[in-house]
Amino acid sequence: MSALSFLAPAALLGLLALPALWWLLRATPPQPSSTPFPPLQLLAQLTDDDVTPVRTPWWLLALRLLLLALIVLAFAGPIWRASEALTLPGESEQPLLIVMESDWASAATWDARRAQAERLIDAASLQNRPVGLVAYPQPNQALPLPGDRSEALAVLETLDPHPVEQDFTALREDLTALLQNSAWSNSALVVLTSGLANEVDNTLWATLTENRPVSFVAGDPPGLVTLLDGGRDGPAMRLISIDNMTSTATTATAYDSAGRSLATVPIRDDQGTVKERIAFDLPLDVRNDIARIALLPTRHAGQVVLVDDRAERRRVGVVSGEGRDEAQPLLSGTTFVERALEPTADVVTPRSGEVAREIEDLIESGANVIVLVNVASLVPSTVERLDNWMERGGVLIRFASAGLTQSTDALTPVPLRAVDRQLGGTLTWDEPKAIAPFSLQSPFSGLSIPQDIRIERQVLSEPGALLAERTYAELTDATPLVTGEDRGQGYLILFHITPETSWSNLPLSGLFVDMLGRLVNLSAVHLTGSAQTFAPQAQASAQASAERGQEVQTGTSTLSPRSTLNAFGVLGAPPGHAEGLQLSSGITAVTLENPPGFYGAMDTVQATNMFAEPPVLNLVRAEDLQASGLRTLTIGPDEARALRPGLITLAVVLALADAIIVLVMSGALSNIKPARFRRSAKIVASSLTLLFAGGLSMMLIGEALAQSASPSGESERLIAAASTTRFAYVRTGDSELDQRTAQGMAGLSLILNQRTAFEPAEPFAIDPLVDELAFYPLIYWPMPSLAMTVSDALVARVDAYMNNGGTILFDTRDEANIFGTQSVSPQTQNLRALLNALDIPPLEPVPDDHVLTKAFYLIDSFPGRYASGPLWVEALPQGQTIADRPARGGDGVSPIMITGNDFASAWALSADGRPLYSTVPADPLQREFAFRSGINIAMYIMTGNYKADQVHIPALLERLVQ
């Protein structure tokens, strides 16, 4: 072949048009500016010393002709030094099938491979041979048919390497089937190998080459291969050199899940040899963030390892029943537990306030350990779920609380006595106790006990045979401090103290941290029985329905692909053919459908890597093929230079030059002054501003539309509830009672508006199961006389409301019905049913010094329609009574108040402001006191212990004077 050839020689005919163009160009000089000018006769007198170029100057003409010639040449597609022809196997007219290996190893040199395929296709088309292209492995590949060059090139466009190992057995089967197809039965083959093979290889090619002309093109070996190698020093990378060849990669870099580079280390040591293992010397928390380690520059998927968070760290969920901890979060038990657990585990602290749901969510998300802080009672369904979870290896650590002794659930390792024990108080003889040395059977054995730890209060267990063996730690008087019990593969552990410092100073010590660490290590890293740890998104959402639990136990679960590696080692969106990862079979092999990558939902990502074990890799070089009697074909790098891009570039440059020359000749450039630049800059700036402002306003309009679209009837009610403070009352379904309650709450609101600065809006009737409770500071809940159903959902919502700072005023309205201690009214029965399930603090009748008695009016009783019943509130902390303090408020507001005095009937006013229901006994003063009670309750709820502080002002002033 000649040194210069053309792809489209016909285009050269365009050169014939050049003379015509020359004539045209000469005939049209550049257009001058024109202006009328009266003193033409004067101008005519001027000598023609500066000759007007009526004609285009010759050099400009030459420039333009050159420009056009270049364009014509470029269209002809000249190629400089087209490479020598390839000797294709087989005779002419025989169809040619190109077989490409497109496995991970081929990705390293995929561009070269593709160029080789292109050259083969070109060569075949030169010989007028039908050509087809097939690649293995390749998903959804249409069977190729012999076609022409453009068809084959189109197929080549669609081929990509895939990050899987070559399955030679499948390759042989597929290829054999394809070759038996009549279209290819009489074909010649060219095989582009990836440069790697296994033993099957030679026989494979031998069967194919039996009676066909076949040529092989050897691929380039893929360089280094890496494996994930965990260890004490965090995720590391093992390097395997296939061919001892010098690798192009120079460094290894660790990335976190967001793709940020964390650390980079060279892969060679000082002597220049490639290290076998690469670890990253990083702080622990940074090391835990490593999600991907890649060799740079990355050549193929085998040079990237992905790291998931299935590390040794367990997930611990801390569930607190004390929403009111929020007032002083740093003193709460949750904080102590969190801080103590942080070094050993991933701590999750849900804050929804609904204990049951939090526990469910934690179990769903695969927590290994759940810590219950200040949770006294659990609903049966939750207990069942926790039991189930412990059977599978979960560890439940429970801390005692004041309410635990009254707990109705059985989730304690030992039965508890109904009273706790206080040591070292004013009314006790005993000194606070120290901790006895741990026994050898205890999980704490070997931990040293600081001498200054003292336990002042503990819950006690009923003595029993099992107590001794279930005691993990005890005090010096042999009473239990920590008890535990095996539950299936898991444990149920009870600390007989609270996790904060009110009962003991253990939580302040390092021993506490060590003890919790030991307990966390009791849990199974992977809970057995299901792959629930890595619950996939789809299933997780399905499990949100009521009957989760059972479903999880059965069957295998599937993880949807999240992001996967392509063959070039780039992490990206999963390809279309990717499928969910079946977790049934332990270690999952990488397949076409399961490319290496991250699988599963956000919290439970599982990573699969190109290689889980060192791969068996045999190099196949050209000489190896020749040695086994196969014909090889060498396709050198394509050295042909297509001249078209250069020609077009040159033509563009010339066109620009021509434009500039024309401008200069017409004098346009000399007119450009700085002022004009400024003006055009201003125009550009203002148009940009306009564009920006336009875009912004579009966004704003869109947002406004979106906002105006949303509100409807229900949300209007929510907005009303949120925008004005108001009371709520529970709709019981008893219409007479509901009407009375509505009148009563309206009456109280009216009186509050009249007398106080607190002006509540009209009260709302709510259904605690349906309506959002968060907006209301006080919910008045009259107990109906009909039986009430107490569902878990109701309990959970009410619990959450109280935990989050709301107050419920229960009114049994039965003060008059009580004829004796034996009889219990249906209202009270309803209340008991509800309160049994609720996690409520200890209660007491309002003491004389309670802030409720001084919140607005000074009162000593809380009468409603009936005067005799007490008002029960959360018991104030004991032992803080100080004589000179006239009022105590405790921290926060009592979440619950119980009365039997039928407040609502006393508060009920008619439209003209007259009372509707007489008090019992009929006494106007009692109604006044009923209103005062209501006002004090409202003030107490709105202001908390502020009044208690305020009544100290005289004392404070006195101190200031001193």
Partner 1 sequence: MIEWLGRGRSKPLGVQDLAPLDALELGTRPRALASAMPDLMVEAKNLAASLIAGLHGRKRAGLGHSFWQFRQYGASDASSRIDWRRSARGETLFVREMEWESAHTVRFSVDMSSSMRFASPDAREPKRDRGVIMALALAAMLTKGGERVGMIGGERPKTGEAALSIMAQELMRRDTDKSGKHRWADMTAVKPREDVIILSDFLFGEAERTKLFGQLVSRGARAHFIQIIDPVEEAFPFKGRMRFDPLSRHDSAILSGRAENWREPYQELFQGLKDRMRRIARSHGWSHTISHTDRPAATPLLSVHEALSRSKER
Cβ neighbours around 382 below 10 Å, total:
23
Q: What Å distances lie between residue 794 and 58, 312, 811, CA to CA?
A: 97, 39, 18
**Which tokens sit at 534?**
């890595």
Q: Is 911 in the site for partner 1 (CB under 8 A)?
A: no
β-partners of residue 236 are 229
Residue selected from 42, 546, 858, 960 as contacting partner 1 according to rule CB under 8 A: 42
SS3 for 516? helix
Residue with structure tokens 């412990």? 390
Nearer to partner 1, 672 or 787 (CB): 672
Q: Is 38 in the site for partner 1 (CB under 8 A)?
A: yes
* Minimum CB–partner distance for residue 34 and partner 1 (Å): 4
What does the radius of gyration of the chain's CA atoms come to, in whole angstroms?
43
- Omega before residue 137 within 30° of 0, cis: yes
Q: Nearest CA to 114 among 152, 75, 86?
A: 152
Residue selected from 126, 668, 688, 786 as contacting partner 1 according to rule CB under 8 A: 668
Contact 171, 200 (CB under 8 A): no
Contact 639, 83 (CB under 8 A): yes
Could you please report the per-residue DSSP string of 374-433? S-----HHHHHHHHHHHHTT-EEEEE--TTGGG--S--SSSPEEEEEEE-SSTT--SPPB
CA angle, 95 then 101 then 107, to 5°:
135
CA 408 to chain CA centroid, Å, is 37
Residue selected from 2, 35, 128, 789 as contacting partner 1 according to rule CB under 8 A: 35
Q: What Å distances lie between residue 674 and 665, 687, 713, CA to CA?
A: 20, 20, 63
Q: How many residues bind partner 1 (CB under 8 A)?
A: 31
Residue with structure tokens 């293995």? 136
Q: Nearest CA to 166 among 276, 306, 302?
A: 302
Q: Is 450 in the site for partner 1 (CB under 8 A)?
A: no
User: How many angstroms separate the CA atoms of 14 and 10, rounded?
Assistant: 8
Q: Is 50 in the site for partner 1 (CB under 8 A)?
A: yes
* Minimum CB–partner distance for residue 653 and partner 1 (Å): 24
Q: Nearest CA to 804 among 781, 779, 782, 828?
A: 779
Q: Is 819 in the site for partner 1 (CB under 8 A)?
A: no
Nearer to partner 1, 35 or 585 (CB): 35
Contact 578, 593 (CB under 8 A): yes
Q: Is 39 in the site for partner 1 (CB under 8 A)?
A: yes
Residue selected from 9, 19, 53, 510 as contacting partner 1 according to rule CB under 8 A: 53
Residue selected from 3, 20, 27, 46 as contacting partner 1 according to rule CB under 8 A: 46
Nearer to partner 1, 54 or 616 (CB): 54
Q: Is 32 in the site for partner 1 (CB under 8 A)?
A: yes
Q: Nearest CA to 363 among 399, 316, 321?
A: 316
User: How many angstroms separate the CA atoms of 570 and 549, rounded?
Assistant: 38
Q: Is 40 in the site for partner 1 (CB under 8 A)?
A: yes
Exposed e or buried b per residue across 273-294, where buried means at least 16 C-beta atoms within 10 angstroms of its C-beta? ebeeebbbebeeeebbbbbbbb
Q: Is 283 in the site for partner 1 (CB under 8 A)?
A: no
Nearer to partner 1, 20 or 43 (CB): 43
Q: What Å distances lie between residue 149 and 117, 130, 228, 331, CA to CA?
A: 11, 8, 44, 78
* Minimum CB–partner distance for residue 107 and partner 1 (Å): 57
Residue selected from 2, 52, 712, 962 as contacting partner 1 according to rule CB under 8 A: 52
Residue selected from 352, 501, 666, 861 as contacting partner 1 according to rule CB under 8 A: 666
Nearer to partner 1, 59 or 819 (CB): 59
**Which tokens sit at 392?**
């599978």
Contact 919, 742 (CB under 8 A): no
- For helices 355-364 and 380-391, the axis angle rounded to 10 degrees is 20
* Minimum CB–partner distance for residue 687 and partner 1 (Å): 20
- Give me the sign of the Cα torsion angle 385, 390, 396, 401: positive
Q: Is 51 in the site for partner 1 (CB under 8 A)?
A: yes
- Which part of the chain contacts partner 1 (CB under 8 A), choosing from 40-48, 143-151, 243-251, 398-406? 40-48
- Which part of the chain contacts partner 1 (CB under 8 A), choosing from 29-37, 321-329, 485-493, 530-538? 29-37
Q: Is 58 in the site for partner 1 (CB under 8 A)?
A: no
Residue selected from 36, 329, 674, 713 as contacting partner 1 according to rule CB under 8 A: 36
**Which tokens sit at 429?**
């003889």
* Minimum CB–partner distance for residue 46 and partner 1 (Å): 5
Q: Is 709 in the site for partner 1 (CB under 8 A)?
A: no
- Residues 227-246 as x/- pattern, contact with partner 1 by CB under 8 A: --------------------
Residue selected from 16, 37, 283, 880 as contacting partner 1 according to rule CB under 8 A: 37
For partner 1, the binding residues in 619-648 under the rule CB under 8 A are none
Residue selected from 16, 27, 54, 911 as contacting partner 1 according to rule CB under 8 A: 54
Q: Which amino acid is at 515?
A: M
Residue selected from 2, 34, 426, 962 as contacting partner 1 according to rule CB under 8 A: 34
Nearer to partner 1, 50 or 613 (CB): 50
Residue selected from 665, 788, 793, 833 as contacting partner 1 according to rule CB under 8 A: 665
Contact 620, 197 (CB under 8 A): yes
φ/ψ of residue 851, rounded to 5: -65, -20
SS3 for 176? helix
Q: Is 33 in the site for partner 1 (CB under 8 A)?
A: yes
- Residues 401-440 as x/- pattern, contact with partner 1 by CB under 8 A: ----------------------------------------
Residue selected from 181, 203, 428, 671 as contacting partner 1 according to rule CB under 8 A: 671
Count Cα neighbours of 595 within 13 Å in the Cβ-side half-sphere: 31
User: How many angstroms separate the CA atoms of 402 and 962, rounded?
Assistant: 40
Nearer to partner 1, 10 or 44 (CB): 44
Nearer to partner 1, 32 or 446 (CB): 32
* Minimum CB–partner distance for residue 656 and partner 1 (Å): 18
- Which part of the chain contacts partner 1 (CB under 8 A), choosing from 633-641, 671-679, 685-693, 895-903? 671-679
- Which part of the chain contacts partner 1 (CB under 8 A), choosing from 41-49, 131-139, 428-436, 509-517? 41-49
Q: Is 675 in the site for partner 1 (CB under 8 A)?
A: yes
φ/ψ of residue 303, rounded to 5: -105, 15
* Minimum CB–partner distance for residue 646 and partner 1 (Å): 34
- Which part of the chain contacts partner 1 (CB under 8 A), choosing from 48-56, 629-637, 697-705, 774-782? 48-56
Nearer to partner 1, 42 or 961 (CB): 42
User: How many angstroms separate the CA atoms of 242 and 229, rounded?
Assistant: 18
Nearer to partner 1, 56 or 943 (CB): 56
- Which part of the chain contacts partner 1 (CB under 8 A), choosing from 317-325, 415-423, 669-677, 813-821? 669-677
Residue selected from 2, 20, 41, 882 as contacting partner 1 according to rule CB under 8 A: 41
Residue selected from 9, 19, 30, 463 as contacting partner 1 according to rule CB under 8 A: 30
Nearer to partner 1, 49 or 285 (CB): 49
Q: Is 735 in the site for partner 1 (CB under 8 A)?
A: no
User: How many angstroms separate the CA atoms of 45 and 53, rounded?
Assistant: 19
Count Cα neighbours of 287 within 13 Å in the Cβ-side half-sphere: 16
Instruction: Write the CB contacts of 690 (distance below 8 Å, at least 6 apart in sequence).
Output: none
**Which tokens sit at 316?**
């611990």
Q: Is 271 in the site for partner 1 (CB under 8 A)?
A: no
* Minimum CB–partner distance for residue 62 and partner 1 (Å): 20
Applying CB under 8 A, the residues found at the interface with partner 1 are 30, 32-47, 49-54, 665-668, 670-671, 673, 675
